[in-house]
Amino acid sequence: MLLRLFSHLIFLNFLLTGLVESSESGGMPQLNTEFWFSQIFWLIITFGFLFIVLSKLILPKISANLETRKSEILENISAAEKQREASENKIKEYEKIILDSKNEAKNYFSKARGQILKDIDKKRETLKNEINEEIKKAEEEITDLKNKSPDKINKIVVETSSDLVKQLIGVEVNNSSISAIVEDISKKVKEKNYGI
């Protein structure tokens, strides 16, 4: 194809040589037909050399560089994808660890709470039993004092009355008669107050 183009240019050169020579009285040297052949020759040599240099030296380096960059980009993309998958896996592992830790803490808290409630219930029962025993003892003491107090009161009244009679009258009175009077009065008071 290049040869065909070259032959067409030569043909045009000879064809137009006659037309241009007539107008050559002092125009531009590029339009002078005697220089056309040399200009076309050097044009072909220059662009041929440029084409060879570009196609054999520069373009292979550029294409190799582009291929290298493309392979590096693909490697970087695949490495980034692997790292993304690895980070997603790590995130899932961390979330699982956090969830397990939360569940473990919740279970531990529930066990501790249950144990504390059991201990509180045991202490409450122990305190309740101790309080009931103390109340029972106090009630027994009160009942015992209640039962013994009339006898003690009667005894005190008999002694006080005999001392008073002795001091007032100056005669010593028999304690049995005073105790009979005191017992009779205390029976009447019990009947009146307690309905016994």
- Asked whether residue 58 is assigned to any structural domain, the reply reads yes
Interatomic CA distance for residues 121 and 129, integer angstroms: 12
Out of 84, 108, 138, a domain closes at 84
Averaged confidence pLDDT in the chain: 82
Q: With 50 as the cut, is the pLDDT of residue 81 above it?
A: yes
Last residue of a domain, one of 29, 59, 84: 84
Categorize the per-residue pLDDT at 80 as very low, low, confident or very high, splitting at 50, 70 and 90. Answer: very high
Decide which of 63, 84, 105 is a domain's last residue. 84
Distance CA 116, CA 32 (A): 116
Q: Report if residue 11 sits inside a domain.
A: yes
Q: Could you tell me if residue 24 is inside a domain? A: yes
Q: Is residue 96 part of a domain?
A: no
- Band (147; pLDDT cuts 50, 70, 90): confident
Count how many domains the chain has.
2
CA distance 176 to 153: 15
Using left for φ > 0, alpha for ψ between -120 and 50, and beta otherwise, residue 28 falls in: beta
Mean local confidence (pLDDT), 22-48:
77
> Which pTM value belongs to this model?
0.39
Within a domain: 136? no
- For residue 107, tell me if it sits in a domain: no
Give me the mean pLDDT over the 48-55 stretch: 92
Is 34 among the domain residues?
Answer: yes
Domain span holding position 52: 2-84
- Please give the pLDDT value at position 22: 47
Rounded to whole angstroms, the Cα distance separating 145 from 140 reads 8
Q: pLDDT for 101-121, tens place per residue?
A: 999 999 999 998 999 999 999
